Structure 1
Amino acid sequence: MQYKGVLRKMQTEVGSPIQYYLVFENDFLNLNQVLDKQLQINFIKFQCLNCGLDRPIYRQGFCKTCFYEIPSAGDWIMRPELSTAHLEKEDRDLEYEKKVQLQPHIVYLANSSNIKVGVTRKTQVPTRWIDQGAHEAIEIVEVPNRYLAGITEVALKEHLSDKTNWRKMLTNDVQDENLVEWRNKLRPYIPEEAAEYFIENNQETELKFPVLQYPKKVKSLNLDKVPNYKGVLKGIKGQYLIFEDSTVFNVRGSEGYVVGIGIA
């Protein structure tokens, strides 16, 4: 079987285990169905997710020009505390920024390699947790805009990490934590503006990933350096494919790369 298309982050469906899909323009592949089979990945060219041109990908699937111009790549994406739509203040496109920033956002705790704090739109729960490879997560606050979520995250990351150790996550070097206790312990550090939005009575969500075999050590596949790769798929976690030879491939980190995928 052969597939061809531009890589975008894998689409997911909640289940036990989670279902993963590579979605191309005219086709899709359920990756759970090809576990234990050999995949061949061949890099063909670039295709910027915005302009569609064959230009080297800079960040987030975009060429350098688009990354610095389009509203969906503004600094407030990675740093939500920089959001200004609630002030009617434009960054790159106020209409777009209002649409994204002025909607309910969640500040959460997720445990993938360690406990981390994060921000996502309410509509992206639990997708965001799946993409980070978290085996457990819990909401802390639900606020009406991205700015309030951002300042809450900034305050809480003074007391715990906001980063995932992807190597630990992929080797499954993780421990279960009581996230309800963590949520309650962090409550006093929530900024005054967001304190009324604290969520008191929820329980943690547990997630199961389709992994047959975890590697002891990982080596990352970079299509710029290794444009053609072949290996037996042993698992999917976060946005990574895990292969039998301990190679891992970050699909989201390779957005905008056009590839051919063969299945033996």
Structure 2
Amino acid sequence: MTYQGVLTKMQTELGNPIQYYLVFEDSFLNVNQLLDKEIEINFAGFECLNCHKKKKIFRQGFCYDCFYSSPAVGDWIMRPELSTAHLGIADRDLEYEQKAQLQPHVVYLALSSEVKVGVTRKSQVPTRWIDQGATQAIAVVEVPNRYLAGITEVALKDHYADKTNWRKMLQCNTEGCDLILEKSKVENLIPAEVKEFFYAQKNDVYELNYPVLNYPAKIASLNLDKTPSFQGKLVGIKGQYLIFENGTVFNIRGSEGYVVNINV
């Protein structure tokens, strides 16, 4: 059977293991059902996720023009400390930014390749942790806007990584860690204006289990620009990556906006 459409990040459902779905315009595919089976991925073109034109993807699923004009990819997305909607100041579109920034955000510690600090909208818990391939996560603070979450993350970057080493994450090459203990160290590190939001009594640790039959010893990344046709046996799904038997991994989120045919 062939599925065709524009790649967007896989939708997920918390479970044991996590369930993954590729969603296209007229169909969807439960990727878990493809484990231990041969699949073929063929590149068929581009479609910008914003303007939907058949234009080459520049970054994050957007064409060049949309990447530098759409409020959905402003600098405050990657650097939440740059958020200004709480001051009534627009970056690209104040109405959009107020909806996105002026809502509860969580600063968390997660164990993916190592203990890292991150920011997500409360509505994206635990989706954000799944997308990063974290095996455990704990909320540190819940604040009313993205700016406060951003300055908290900046304060904690001196003590924790803020990016995932995707190779270590995919090889499950991580050391165990007591996230409750790590969280107890954080209270004295966060900015004064955020201390009232510290989760002092709430120590729920999320445990995340991924559908992986085998972790790769060596990794080769699939790039559809260089390899427009690929076939292999799927042996795992973690973060937003497909893992194949020969050690090839395919970053779905990194290929958003690519049109593909998937034969299963």
TM-score of the pair, normalised by structure 1: 0.99
One-letter amino acid of the counterpart of residue 208, structure 2: L
Q: Does 2:232 correspond to 1:238?
A: no
Q: What is the 5 A alignment of 1:57-68?
A: 57-68=57-68
| SS at structure 1 position matched to 2:41 | strand
**Is 2:136 the counterpart of 1:144?**
no
Cα deviation, 1:181-205, whole Å, max 9, x if unaligned, reads 0011121010011110000222211
Instruction: Please tell me whether residue 252 in structure 1 is matched to residue 253 in structure 2.
Output: yes
CA distance in 2, matches of 1:20, 1:102: 29
Gaps of 5+ in 1: none
Q: How does 1:36-115 map to 2 (within 5 A)?
A: 36-115=36-115
CA distance in 2, matches of 1:218, 1:186: 34
Q: What's the counterpart of residue 210 of structure 2?
A: 209
Task: State yes or no: 1:28 paired with 2:28.
Answer: yes
User: What is the CA distance between 1:54 and its match in structure 2?
Assistant: 1.3
- Which residue does the alignment assign to 1:17? 17
Equivalent residue letter for 1:20: Y
| Deviation, structure 1 residue 72 | 0.4
Aligned equivalents of 1:104, 1:215: Cα separation in 2:
37
Distance 2:32 2:130 in 1: 15
Partner of 1:221: 222
| Identity score, percent | 66
Between the aligned partners of 1:160 and 1:217, the Cα distance in structure 2 is 26
| TM-score normalised by L of structure 2 | 0.99
Q: Shift of the alpha carbon at 1:176?
A: 1.9
Whole-Å separation in 1 of the counterparts to 2:193 and 2:48: 39
Mean Cα displacement is larger for which, 198-207 or 225-234?
198-207
In the other structure, the counterpart of 1:199 is: 199
- Runs (5+) with no aligned partner, structure 2: none
Aligned residue type for 2:246 = D
Counterpart of 2:257, as a letter, is: G
Query: 2: CA distance between counterparts of 1:52 and 1:87?
Result: 32
Listed one character per residue, the Cα deviations across residues 202-233 of structure 1 (whole Å, up to 9, x for unaligned) are 22110000000110011000000000000000
Paired position in structure 2 for 1:177: 177
SS at the partner of 1:59? coil
Letter in 1 for 2:70: I
Shift of the alpha carbon at 1:125? 0.2
Deviations 1:89-148 (A, max 9, x none): 000000000000000000000101100000000000000000000000000000000000
Give the aligned partner of residue 188 of structure 1.
188
What is aligned with 1:117? Answer: 117
Amino acid in the other structure paired with 1:237:
K
Partner AA of 1:194 in structure 2? V
CA distance in 2, matches of 1:98, 1:186: 28
Name 1:7's counterpart in structure 2.
7
